[in-house]
Structure 1
Amino acid sequence: MSNTHINYIEFKAHDLEKIKQFYSECFGWVFTDYGGTYIAFSESGLDGGFEKTEDKIVNGALVVLYHENLDSIRKKIIEAKGIISIDTFSFPGGSRFHFIDPSGNELAVWSDK
């Protein structure tokens, strides 16, 4: 897998069962449950997931980039005046962090390394 490409997209959802039913019926997406607060989807052209939230959804999409070395790319983001909005955390399959770019967009970077 190469570095620095869009690899995954996440959306927010209030009801995971309803959102699963909607996208599987309308678009044929396939879902994998990860506990009660997250579902991943495939068969959509670009893999992604839905995270359950009770908050108002303003911009529910999170673009997730891939990089082999999280420490290296995190350092580059900070040096380029990006802001780390969520520190590195682990999840099944890897680790990731979130950052804010100079225009205020929040993205994430993940790695399976």
Structure 2
Amino acid sequence: MARPNYIELPAADIEAAKRFYTDVFGWDMTSFGPSYAATTTGDVDVGLQGDTAEATRAPLPVIEVDDLEATLATVVAAGATIVRPIFAFPGGRRFHFLDPNGNELAAVVAAHG
């Protein structure tokens, strides 16, 4: 079953963002390189994207799915615009799309193992 499992926030100042979320909510932020950090609770996690070339303009809801290619086909058939085709990253594979109202979302299949 598809479910939201991640929210990615743009964070031009990654260090300030990490301090803020740690100070305010007590979140343990794990760094994944110089421009990315995330909580790793295994529930609905939050990522901070500090690479301005990679960051979306608004928070990015990420929906975990069982079959990425089937979800891509369904999203396209429903009339969504694909803004980032399937790509791999350290946590798995995903793609980004715009819903009918122009909201950017991502579908992901997590890496296992």
What TM-score bracket applies, with the shorter chain setting the length?
Answer: 0.7 to 0.9
Identity of aligned residues (%): 37
Residue 49 of structure 1: CA displacement?
Answer: 0.3
Describe the superposition over 1:88-111 as per-residue Cα deviations: whole angstroms up to 9, x where unpaired: 110112100000111111100000
Describe the superposition over 1:31-89 as per-residue Cα deviations: whole angstroms up to 9, x where unpaired: 1111112111246x73110101447x994300000101100000000001011110111
Q: Does 1:89 align with 2:84?
A: no
On the 8 A contact 2:10/2:56 being kept in 1, the answer is no
Q: Does 1:26 align with 2:8?
A: no
| Structure whose residues are more often strand by fraction | 1
Residue of structure 2 in register with 1:104 after alignment:
102
The amino acid of 2:77's aligned partner reads E
Residue of structure 2 in register with 1:75 after alignment:
73
TM normalised by structure 2 equals: 0.87
- Whole-Å Cα distance in 2 between the matches of residues 105 and 65 of structure 1? 13
The amino acid of 2:29's aligned partner reads F
Count of residues in Structure 1 that have an aligned counterpart in Structure 2: 109
- Give structure 1 stretches of 5+ with no counterpart: none
- Give structure 2 stretches of 5+ with no counterpart: none
On the 8 A contact 1:29/1:42 being kept in 2, the answer is no
- Whole-Å Cα distance in 1 between the matches of residues 63 and 52 of structure 2? 25
